Every structure is written in structure tokens, then in C-alpha cells.
Amino acid sequence: MTVLPDPAATRAVLIGTSRYAHLERIPAVANNLSALAAALCAPRSWGLAPVHCTVIEDPTTAVEVLEAVRTAAEEATDTLLVYFAGHGLVEPRRGELFLGLTGSIPHRSYTGLPYGTLRDVVLDGRAARQVMLLDCCFSGRVLGFMSAAGAEAVISQVEIEGTYLLASVPDTSFALAPPGEPHTAFTGELLRLLREGVPGGPEFLDLDTVYAQVYAALRAKGRPLPQKRDRNTAGGLALTRNAAWIPPGFGPPPPPYDAAPVPEPAPRPYRHEPARTPPPPPPPYEPPLVPAPSADGHEPAPEPTRPSAVPPRPTWSPVALPSSAPAPSPNGVSPGRRRAVRYGLAGALFVALVAAGIPLATSWMKDDGSPEDRSGRQQSESSGTPAPGPIAGYDAAAKDVVNASKKKGGTLKFVSGSDADSWDPQRTYFGSIWNFSRYYARQLVTYAPKPGEKGTELVGDLAEKTAEVTDSGKTYTYTLRDGITWEDGTEITSKDIKYGIERIWATDPISGGPTYLQQVLDPGHTYKGPYKDTAKDKLGLKAIRTPDDKTIVFELPKPNGDFERMLAMPAGSPVKRDKDTGSKYQNKPFSSGPYRFGSYTPGKSLELIRNDKWNQSSDPVRTALPDRITVNFEDNAEVRAQALFSGTYDLDLTSTGLTDAALAQARNSRDLRARLDNPYTGGLLFAAFPRSVEPLQNLHCRKAVIYAADMENLRTAAGGTQSGAIAPHMLPPTIAGSDSSYDPYEKLDNNGKPDTAKAKQELAACGESNGFTTTIAVRNTRPAELAVAESLQSSLGKVGIDARIEQIDGNDYYETVGSPATVEKEGYGIVISRWLPDFPTGQGFLQPLVDSRFISQSANINLGELDDPTVDDLFDKAIAEQDPAKAEKDYRAANRRVSESAAYLPILFQKSTVWRGSRLTNVYASEPYGGLYDYVSLGVAT
């Protein structure tokens, strides 16, 4: 009878190298480790205790690995599993396989871990069964000499009597670390099989079954195919319990394993390779004899190397021969341990070729089924009718309302990794808290409760409608609604609104929060705030008048077309003067909204309860469906992720609740994937070229960097298609003035590939035909940004630009790169950064990055040090404009001028991945709040 290993007597050692000093980086390896560890520790898989699963990420020495493996080998008496992912090195004379470590050097195999030594340590252990999984490369593309015959020699080395060998040694036409996917291709399919199982298959999946299913899945996607060699009956070893197994008589059979939730299109052609349409997947034991013709009539690129033996039929097939693993001895170890292990071994070795690294990776089509326009904005395929159920499919809430409902009741449950920066509406600068604070803080105007672009419209909130604007855009007058009340039932007046806004000036005893209103209303900062106000009513700010309790008037020194968007921030909320407790106000703000503070324990939990003095008739924005809203703070990321999956919480407050491993788990599960949304954040990932650093003060040298950049590989390094869309210019699609047709450096036309010919032309034009040397500055606390820097470094090297990477401590990063003097002294010619808007216009997003008046000697935001009077004038014109369409025209012109200056390399219009709990109703992503769900519209199914 096929059984799983005894978890108490089983050990696993998972080894992976994703970062290399001298080889190309493989970011997916880190994801492989965490996901495989989670799979092995899952109760329905092996059920290993976490302490029995050792993870070694980015090892630096062979001893570090071998000691961990020896310890596990001595402890395990049932099964020992050893996994490695990373680069493989081959010793050219003897053909010996070495596993890549962080310091491994090409052509110097002695800098790696000898496979033979690792194998000996494994075989010297006490376990009756050993499983070895290797997902590594030893391709000719990496080493420059490896032939098919040489690959066969390496494969032969790792064969042992009783082993089960799967090896992928095709040519390097296609990468096995596909862009946009969290795992290497082979391990990704293996993980998917472990999680989803084989519908219609047996209760336990043995190695022959695993091989057949992984082979079929890879073939269906047109990816390199594994090769199999086995000895004796090793193929009958149970690797996992079948997650899709249904006992006889329990309902109809589910769809077959290879019926993926979303059809996966063929890979994009690499560079000038003709596009290929892969044939329909045949049964895994019948590989095609003739490659399919290409879509355009050209000869197709070579097929991946065919395995030496055809894949086996699944073991439950009527024509399959029965197979079982050798039984261990009663003690767990047979007499004559080394020899018995060799000839009684039920082990497995999976070898799969990983691409040479990010710059060599081939682009693959998106797998979410959603088309994008040229600017990357996804186009909705919905009819516009809200989905009837709580789960409407992947990315549904990024396009439309999911599970529309007016039903009240229940508790809406948030979880968060940290407490708010402040619950005081004037003092918070976290976007998620801006969103959440609308439960208890209202403003004169706010954003419309609508999905997508419609949500950027301003509507009246405490005010009856948006402002009456007079005096050429300098005077804004509002009339307040009837029935607006505080939580004690008293009326909210214009003076309460003025007092709340005045608190922005009070940097003592409170501090923090945005200062836009202060800058626009009192640019000279002549007012000192209400706590130092000598007026009896503490309402001495002259720029705001309150003729009566229902009217409030703002008088600006000069017009600003975005003024109402500044009022829509929480900083524009009213505060009742006799309830203002200064620095303690953040512990219990006095509510003007549908909920008020209940219990609050900083760092642990927060409860909002209904404000029974709030009038629905006075609030056209908030639906106030839940009876109660809770937030629990949990700093353990894995605990948060699993609690979201289990339904303990409905959503994450900051949208960062899923770890990389949890995201990978969700994307590889049909049920979990259907609850993910992938909205735009409104943010931009970019590289700045400071003008003070030679030779990048030269326009043509900057353009050389832009043309040389491989945008698709930069996106892969950042996290794949889910991390964002390739940015051809500086204005994300959610920002007014963005132009989807504008592609000045033909990044979209070239499918993100570099134009090395133009890069070299620009190098010649700037007098650096042989390239130049520069430094890329990047913070060390953001692995994705470091990966982007490494990818850019590789791209630039191909045109002769030698870019050294300097990692700067994240706590000091913006202080360092925000000092032009330091940037010039250290030679930071390229600075990696990202930027999010405070409000979705050119002023709120682009101006701080490119207006010369934002250059400062410290805390500099204009990292490119762009000093262009034309750009500055365009902003002055756009900001003074009251007609949004005319302002957008000026912002569009400013964006073009900035692009022509080549001051920045825009990389990605960023996206986030958000978890949508199954109980949520009225769910849709809100563009003004960085793609988070519109919190005040949410309800829960009860």
C-alpha cells in the first residue's frame, strides 16, 4: 500500500540561491523555497513540523549547506528530502556538476557546492528513503561550452541505483524563470500539483504520476520538458497526498488537472524569433513527432530537447503496471546501511534548466485574461452589472462592483501588520488610514463612491455640493448640508471645519500629515495655529471666513485648480474645539461620520461602533452597512496571510497582508486566485539621472541608458506582470493628463525589449562610444528594487555601460539621495525610486519630481535635478487653470517635455495585489486611494 512518510521521522532541507555576485540573479528561487516549505508543512501534504524543514537561502559556503544536510540526515529515519534551486556549474574537464552559491564564478566550478559531495552526505544518513529535488541550470548559454552530449554526462553522474531522475536539458531558447510568474517553470508546476492535486487520480500521487502531470502541464504551455530515468521501482514512491482526491461515491468527478482556471497563451517571441503557436497538449505519453508551424508561416524556433524516454502513463491507468516502493526495515535502517540505501533507495532527483538570469528570460503573455491598452490600463470585459456572488473572479473588483448589496449588519474585520501612523485626521499620512478615517471623519467634499476612473470625481460631503468658485479661481464658497451632526448630536458648523483645518499649522504639540492647505492658504506661514492663536475663539486664520454656521469661504492668494482635492484629504476634516485633546486626540477622535471609536488598544486592536447620531439623509456617500468594524494588529506576516485565507479576517487594512509565499499559493489555487485583485496604485517605479553626475549631464548619455534598458526584464525583476505595466512615460494611467498613445522611446512598440542600436548611437553622440562607468543607488530594504537595479546593470553592460550598484540603508536612503551634494560626491548617476500621488493630478504627482523649485539641498524630491523653465511654466499654467480639461492639456505637455529631457527612466506603472474576503459586499478598487477598496462602501454577507 502506498503511504506518505512519517512526519515525525522525516526531515527536509531546502536550499536556494537567488542572488549571485558573479552570475545572473534568479529572483523566483526565493519564492520557490518559501512555497515549497509551506507545501511540505501543510497538514494534507507531508505535515512536517516547521522545525523539521530547514530553509537555507543564498548560502555562501558549501560547509554551511553540508552541515545542515548532515544534521537532517542523522535525524531522519523515514525520509530525507533535499531540494536545491539556483545555477548549476559544470567542471569542463571531468563534467562534474557543482551547485551555485552566492559567490560562485562562471568557469570556476570549485566556487560552488560539488553535487557528488552533497549526494554522499545524503546517502550516509539514516533515512530509509531519500528524495532529492534539483531545479538548476547547466546550459550552454551560461557556460559557453556545454553540448547536448555534455549534458548527458552530467545527468549520468547523478544516477544512482533506485533513484528516480527527471532532468530538463533543452537548449536555451526559452527561459525557465518566466517573467511575471512567482516560481521557476518546473517548480511552479510541481507546487501547483502539490496544492491542487489530480482530479480523478488516486489518493496518493507517486513519482511516476507526478512526472506525467508536470510533463503535460509544461508541454501545454510550450515550455521545456523534463526527462525521466528511473531504476527499480522508485517511481511508486508517494510524494504527496492528492489534494483533489474524492472517495468513491462522493459526487461527480472534477475537471481534469490540465483544465487551468485561465487559458495560458503561447510565449511571446524572444527578440526577432517568429511567434509560435504550441500544439494542443497530447497525452503525456505521446510526444509530437513534428513541431507545429509558426503563426506567421516562418519556420518555428527549435523545439526543446526531447527527453530520452517518453513519459509514463499515470499509474492509475488500466494499462499501467503496478509499482510500489521498497518497504523500509522495521528499525528504519537496513543492515549494511550504505549498501542497503544504494540498492533499496526510493529517491527522486528533479533537474530542470533555469534561464541564465533576468536579462536572458523570455517574456510570456499575461495570464489574467484582461487586455490592456498601450498605457497599461486594463480594459473591463464586464457588462457593468454587479456580480451576484461574493467571488466574481480574478481582478473583478479592479474593474467593477463585486457583490452589490444594501444589506446592513454584521462585523467587518480588518487585519493590519502595524498600527496607524495616527488616527488623528489632520496628522495621518498613510493612504490606507486616509481611506479608513472616512468612517469617522467627513470633509466638505470627497471622492464619489464609484469604481475605476469615475471614483476620481469630487462630490459634496459636509457641503451640499462642490464649491462656487469666483474671483478668477481665488475664492471658494460652500454651504453646509442640513442634519450634519457630531457623535454627541450637536450640529457640525463652519467654525468646526475651520478649526480642524487650522490644526494643520500646529506643529507643536502635534506634528505630521500633509501641509498642502497650509501652503496654498498661507504660503508665508504667518499663522501659528490654534494653540498659539490669541483670538478668543481660536479662529484667527484670515484666509478662511465663516460668515455664519452654514457658510465657509476660502480666499487663496493665487488660484489653484486642485484646491478642492486638497480639501478632500482627511486634513480638511472638522474638529470640535472642546473635544480637541492635542496630541492625545489620535487615541479617540470625535466622530463626524457614521461610526465612532469604541475600544482601542494601541498596537493590538481597534473597534468602531455605530454613531447613532449620524443621519443617513445627510450623507450621500457612506452606506454604513456593517454594525461594527474591527481592526486587529498582527505583525507576523504568515499568520496574517493564513488568517485572511481562512476567513478570520475580511481584508488587510494596508493591502500588504499577503507574503510572497501566500501570493504564490493564492495564484496557484483556483479558489484563492478568484479572490485576488490587481489594481493600479497610481504609483511609478523609476530611475532618475541626477544632472550633477558626469557623464549623465549629457542628454545623449541619458538617452543611451533609456534605450539600453530591457523593460520586460525590469518588470520581471520587480515581480512580474502583477507588479505593474511597462511605463513609456512619467504619468500613470490613473493620473489626469496621462496619454496612452505617447511612447517616446518606443518601449511598448518593442514589447519592452531594448534597442541596443539606438543606445550605441546615443553613446557615440555623447562622446562615449565605448561606454562609461556610473553607479546605481538603491535602498537595501526593498528586494524588488535591488532586483531592478541588478537587471538594469545587466542591460547596460551589453552596450558597454559599466554600472556599479551601491546599496544604501533604507533608513538613510532618501536623506542620502535627497542631498544633491552627496549624490554628486558619490557619483550616483542612476537613482532607483518610486512615487505615489497625494491626489490624482499632474500637480499631485508629477510636479514634485520635475519642477526646479522643488530642488533643495536636503530632502530633495526632484531627483533628476531637472531645471527647465518651460516645465515650471507649464505647471504654473495648469495649476491656475479652473477647467480640468485645459489643465490636463498642460500636464500632458509637461510630461512630454520631461520625457524629451530624458531626466528619468520610467519603469513601471505600479500595481498591488489585494485580497478580497468571501464575505465582502460592494467591493471595488478606488483610484483616489491607491487601488485600495473603497472602505466606506463595504458590507459583509451575514
Q: Averaged over 905-922, what is the pLDDT?
A: 96
Q: Among 837, 841, 839, which residue's Cα sits nearest to residue 572?
A: 839
Residue 80 and residue 61: Cα distance in Å, rounded?
Answer: 22
The pairs formed by 375-379 with CB atoms below 8 angstroms and a separation of 24 or more are 375/725, 375/728, 375/733, 375/738, 375/739, 375/740, 375/909, 376/680, 376/724, 376/725, 376/726, 376/727, 376/733, 376/909, 377/680, 377/725, 377/733, 377/734, 377/740
Residue 378 and residue 927: Cα distance in Å, rounded?
Answer: 13
Q: How far is CA 778 from the centre of its chain?
A: 18
The grid coordinates of residue 827 equal 557619483
Q: What is the model's pLDDT at position 273?
A: 28
157 pLDDT more than 60: no
Name, of 261-275, 318-332, 507-521, 750-764, the range with top average pLDDT.
750-764
3-class secondary-structure state, position 485: strand
Instruction: Write out the H or E segment, with its range, that includes residue 760.
Output: helix 756-765
Q: What is the model's pLDDT at position 734?
A: 94
Please, which pLDDT band fits residue 369 given cuts at 50, 70 and 90?
very low
Q: What is the model's pLDDT at position 309?
A: 36
Dihedrals phi, psi of 582, to nearest 5 degrees:
65, -125
Of 792 and 263, the structure prediction assigns the larger pLDDT to: 792
Q: What is the model's pLDDT at position 905?
A: 98
Of 497 and 200, the structure prediction assigns the larger pLDDT to: 497
* Neighbouring C-beta atoms of residue 758, cutoff 10 Å: 17
* Neighbouring C-beta atoms of residue 936, cutoff 10 Å: 23
pLDDT tens-digit map of 392-437: 799 999 999 999 999 999 999 999 999 999 999 999 999 999 999 9
* Neighbouring C-beta atoms of residue 873, cutoff 10 Å: 13
Q: Averaged over 897-914, what is the pLDDT?
A: 96
Please, which pLDDT band fits residue 249 given cuts at 50, 70 and 90?
very low
Contacts (Cβ under 8 Å, ≥6 apart) of 336: none
Please, which pLDDT band fits residue 385 given cuts at 50, 70 and 90?
very low
3-class secondary-structure state, position 90: strand
Torsion of CA 428, 433, 436, 440, to 10 degrees: -20
pLDDT tens-digit map of 83-97: 888 888 877 666 677
Q: Determine which of 39-48, 57-66, 693-702, 926-935 has the lowest per-residue pLDDT on average.
A: 39-48
Q: What is the model's pLDDT at position 137?
A: 62
Half-sphere exposure of 48 (CA within 13 A, CB side): 27
CB 630 within 8 A of CB 606: yes
pLDDT tens-digit map of 789-809: 999 999 999 999 999 999 999
Q: What is the model's pLDDT at position 769?
A: 97
Q: Are strands 605-610 and 595-601 parallel, antiparallel or unpaired?
A: antiparallel
The grid coordinates of residue 389 equal 456572488
Contacts (Cβ under 8 Å, ≥6 apart) of 42: none
Query: Which DSSP category does 294 fall into?
Result: B
Please, which pLDDT band fits residue 79 given cuts at 50, 70 and 90?
confident
Q: What is the model's pLDDT at position 92?
A: 66
Peptide bond into 557 cis (omega under 30): no
Name, of 293-307, 649-663, 692-706, the range with top average pLDDT.
692-706
Of 904 and 252, the structure prediction assigns the larger pLDDT to: 904
Q: What is the model's pLDDT at position 242?
A: 81
pLDDT tens-digit map of 815-859: 999 999 999 999 999 999 999 999 999 999 999 999 999 999 988
- List C-alpha distances in Å: 696 to 368, 744, 825, 869: 39, 19, 14, 20
Q: Which residues of 431-470 are buried (b: 16+ CB within 10 A; e: fewer)?
A: bbbbbbbbbbbbbbbbbbbbbbeebbebbbbbbeebbebe
CB 737 within 8 A of CB 853: no
Q: Are strands 79-90 and 11-16 parallel, antiparallel or unpaired?
A: parallel
Q: Determine which of 148-152, 483-487, 519-523, 910-914 has the lowest per-residue pLDDT on average.
A: 148-152
Q: Determine which of 36-50, 382-396, 553-567, 859-873 has the lowest per-residue pLDDT on average.
A: 382-396
Contacts (Cβ under 8 Å, ≥6 apart) of 664: 31, 34, 35, 182, 183, 191
Q: Among 242, 432, 423, 362, which residue's Cα sits nearest to residue 713?
A: 362
Q: Determine which of 241-250, 306-315, 687-696 has the lowest per-residue pLDDT on average.
A: 306-315
3-class secondary-structure state, position 684: strand
Please, which pLDDT band fits residue 39 given cuts at 50, 70 and 90?
confident
CB 72 within 8 A of CB 48: no
Q: What is the model's pLDDT at position 276?
A: 32
pLDDT tens-digit map of 95-120: 677 889 999 987 787 889 988 888 88
Supply the mean pLDDT for the chain: 80
Residue 736 and residue 143: Cα distance in Å, rounded?
Answer: 49
Dihedrals phi, psi of 32, to nearest 5 degrees:
-55, -45
Q: Among 316, 127, 331, which residue's Cα sits nearest to residue 209?
A: 316
* Neighbouring C-beta atoms of residue 417, cutoff 10 Å: 16
Share of the chain above pLDDT 90, in %: 58
Q: Determine which of 242-251, 289-298, 697-706, 710-719 has the lowest per-residue pLDDT on average.
A: 289-298
Name, of 69-83, 153-167, 359-373, 435-449, the range with top average pLDDT.
435-449
Q: Averaged over 481-508, what is the pLDDT?
A: 96
167 pLDDT more than 50: no
* Neighbouring C-beta atoms of residue 846, cutoff 10 Å: 26
Q: Determine which of 339-348, 677-686, 849-858, 885-894 has the lowest per-residue pLDDT on average.
A: 339-348
The grid coordinates of residue 140 equal 550552454
Please, which pLDDT band fits residue 236 given cuts at 50, 70 and 90?
low
